[in-house]
Structure 1
């Protein structure tokens, strides 16, 4: 099983599963985009075991490209882990202070944002496709964590996971205008004269949102693997019928 482990220390595990031809459905982790639900459950169980957790420790949301987020408690343990109808509804970001819960986010080209707070122990995941980015889900979440949860933004560490590259993320003027209207994404956009398409760097736009929320630049890391160009990537833009990566964050606790 191919998994990028970005952080694994005495407090946190942060990572992202990748496409793997030796696994069931190429290591697809998504119940909402699969051929065989049982295969996805098996893949998730294998991931859980590799992290020294159980599948019932997973918490998943039904992602809708919204700007909604949810504070996860122990009451949410296991939601969406084995079946979609128990997932947290209409939500694209999860965070928790609770230990030993595996917060999950699913992507195939969209930007996964995985984070932890060194001081409070809070961890979380964000699904930011272009719609989530123009709705500023990441910035809204971190402002909520700063204002409502009383976190210091300088205590956060951010991992932006593999996503569609600027080269492959080409859009028409309607999407370009939405990014332009953000007021801070211009340097992450170029126009391809030959195709009259705009190319946008969604990862760097999300990084800028983190910075605008007060998170120090040096505490933001980006995996520049392109999910379209890499053989280890699931790309919805390349194949509409594709699997999904699972990005995860865990606060370790005494087991």
Structure 2
């Protein structure tokens, strides 16, 4: 199974599944966009097996391009793992202190973010499409974690996953104005006079939001794989019936 492994140390495990021609439905991980739910469940079970987890350890959200987040407890274990109906409703970010729970995020061009907090052991997963970015879901979540959970920002380590590149993310003026209104995204935007389109780097805008939350730049990594260009990428912009990547993170249980 094709997976970009981002973190695998003594405490944390994180990565992102990629398109795979040898897997059912090209390794689609999303029950909300699939031809055969059993194929998706087969892919999820294979991932769980590869990572040393069970399917029941997954926690999934019903993503709606919101700025809403949910604190996952042990009681949430398994939500959305086998049925889309049980996924946590209208939520685009999850975080938890619990070990052996695999937090997930689904994307096909949108920016996935996974992170951990070294001192407290808190982990999280964010889905930030352009709508989530202009709603500042990542910044709002980190501000919440600082204020409500007492997390020191210098202790966060962030991985931004594969997403649509700036070259391929072309938008009209309405979307451009939403990014410009943020006040800090101008350097991540250019205008193509030939096409009359604006090109936005959503990954670097999300990175900037992490930095604005106080996270050191050196602790923010980015996978610059373009989901549109790469043969390993699912791209909604390229194919409206595209499958989805799953980004994931878990805290390992103490031995």
Q: TM-score, normalised by structure 2?
A: 0.99
Aligned to 2:150: 150
Aligned to 1:195: 195
Give the drift of 1:50.
0.5
SS of the counterpart of 2:250? strand
C-alpha distance in 2, partners of 1:59/1:210? Answer: 24
Give the drift of 1:211.
0.1
C-alpha distance in 1, partners of 2:27/2:245? Answer: 8
C-alpha distance in 2, partners of 1:75/1:42? Answer: 24
Alignment of 1:99-248 (within 5 A): 99-248=99-248
Alignment of 1:10-25 (within 5 A): 10-25=10-25
SS of the counterpart of 1:143? helix
SS of the counterpart of 2:248? strand
**1:125-163 alpha-carbon deviations (Å, 9 max, x no partner):** 000000000000000000000000000000000000000
Give the drift of 1:223.
0.2
The count of corresponding residues between Structure 1 and Structure 2 is 255
Q: Name the Cα RMSD after superposition.
A: 0.6
SS of the counterpart of 1:19? coil
Aligned to 1:63: 63
Give the drift of 1:254.
3.8
C-alpha distance in 1, partners of 2:94/2:209? Answer: 17
Runs of 4 or more consecutive aligned structure 1 residues displaced over 6 Å after TM superposition: none
C-alpha distance in 1, partners of 2:68/2:11? Answer: 27
Give the drift of 1:184.
0.1
- Correspondence 1:87 to 2:87: yes
SS of the counterpart of 1:215? coil
Give the drift of 1:30.
0.2
SS of the counterpart of 1:176? helix
SS of the counterpart of 2:35? coil
SS of the counterpart of 2:144? helix
C-alpha distance in 1, partners of 2:140/2:133? Answer: 10
C-alpha distance in 1, partners of 2:211/2:254? Answer: 33
Q: TM-score, normalised by structure 1?
A: 0.99
Aligned to 1:37: 37
Gaps of 5+ in 2: none
C-alpha distance in 2, partners of 1:109/1:52? Answer: 28
C-alpha distance in 1, partners of 2:182/2:10? Answer: 38
Give the drift of 1:104.
0.4
